[in-house]
């Protein structure tokens, strides 16, 4: 019979793998941004929210705060590096106004994490106290990370298009929440369980939106391509007529 600890380890490893896919799922989006040289209508909010979430969970997983949380530490330290990369790319390919917002958000998050780490490690002296304080903060930021796509979900409802809400990110968010909810249940950890139950619900809501507006999105994209083709054809005709007129005049 599989022990509780072994089951928790197996689910935690699976959670690390799924979370890594979650962190890497925006890569196609950033490849597109790189090619176009612009972030267009994409929002930096999900990536800033993911970064501060990874920072506080990295603190939670440290042995001096919450022992035996190596799997929490490994995935969130990796996530911190990945999210920082996204934010740098967002900064490069956004306009001046958005760059200022991204930079300000990043500075606030780094200062907050530094102050929190200093206070927790100097003013509290037991794992229980440190786990409680950092765990509560982790819940808040984890919920913020999962809720950050609400900005994009509002755009989806307004435009009736999921063009700027990548399916891969929505799907992996749902699976990630489900896996880590299981991890938090095996050896009851309310700080892991609570936010991931919320994350599962938000992920499911995004998938429902995607299914609802997938057809209308395809139609809107097709209509834009048709209009663009008609404009190109019109320009070609006009250029041809102008050329004929010049030839006749000479």
* Angstrom distance (rounded) from CA 76 to CA 23: 10
Rounded CA separation 28/139 (Å): 29
Task: Please report which confidence band the pLDDT of residue 85 belongs to, taking 50, 70 and 90 as the band edges.
Answer: very high
Q: Which residue has the tokens 């990548």?
A: 166
Share of the chain above pLDDT 90, in %: 20
In b/e form, how buried is each residue of 77-116, taking b as 16+ CB within 10 angstroms?
Answer: ebbbebbbebbebbbebbeeebeeebeebbeebeeebeeb
pLDDT band (50, 70, 90) for residue 231? low
Q: What was the pLDDT predicted at 176?
A: 86
Give the pLDDT band (50/70/90) at residue 240. low
Q: Residue 113 has what pLDDT?
A: 93
Domain assignments of the chain as residue spans, ordered by start: 4-215
Is the pLDDT higher at 148 or at 60? 60
196 by Cβ neighbours in 10 Å (0-12 / 13-18 / 19+) ranks as buried
Residue-wise pLDDT tens digits, 96-136 = 888 898 899 999 999 999 999 999 999 988 988 999 999 99
Q: Which two tokens stand for residue 23?
A: 């962190």
Question: Taking residues 18-40, what's their average pLDDT?
Answer: 85
Give the per-residue pLDDT at 118. 94
Helix (H) / strand (E) element for 119: namely: helix 96-123
pLDDT digits (tens, 9 = 90+) for 164-213: 777 877 888 888 889 989 888 887 888 888 888 888 888 888 898 888 88
Q: What's the chain's average pLDDT?
A: 82
Angle, in degrees to the nearest 10, between helices 70-92 and 4-24: 0
- What is the structure's pLDDT at 55? 93
Predicted pLDDT of residue 233:
53
Per-residue confidence (pLDDT) for residue 210, from 0 to 100: 86
């Amino acid at each position: 019979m599989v022990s509780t600890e072994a089951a928790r380890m197996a689910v935690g490893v699976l959670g690390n793998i799924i979370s890594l896919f979650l962190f890497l799922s925006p890569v196609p989006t950033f490849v597109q941004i790189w090619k176009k040289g612009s972030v267009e209508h994409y929002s930096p909010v999900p990536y800033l929210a993911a970064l501060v979430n990874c920072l506080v969970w990295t603190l939670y997983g440290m042995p001096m705060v919450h022992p035996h949380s190596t799997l929490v530490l490994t995935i969130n330290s990796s996530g911190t590096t990945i999210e920082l990369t996204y934010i740098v790319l967002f900064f490069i390919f956004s306009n001046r106004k958005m760059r200022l917002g991204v930079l300000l958000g990043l500075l606030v998050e780094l200062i907050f994490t530094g102050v929190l780490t200093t206070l927790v490690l100097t003013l509290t002296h037991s794992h229980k106290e440190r786990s409680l304080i950092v765990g509560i903060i982790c819940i808040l930021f984890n919920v913020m990370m999962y809720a950050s796509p609400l900005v994009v979900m509002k755009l989806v409802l307004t435009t009736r298009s999921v063009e700027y809400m990548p399916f891969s990110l929505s799907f992996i968010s749902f699976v990630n929440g489900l896996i880590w909810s299981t991890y938090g249940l095996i050896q009851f950890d309310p700080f892991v369980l609570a936010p991931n139950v919320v994350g599962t619900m938000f992920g499911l809501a995004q998938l429902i939106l995607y299914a609802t507006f997938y057809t209308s999105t395809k139609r809107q994209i097709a209509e834009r391509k048709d209009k663009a083709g008609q404009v190109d054809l019109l320009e070609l005709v006009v250029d041809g007529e102008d050329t004929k007129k010049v030839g006749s005049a000479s």
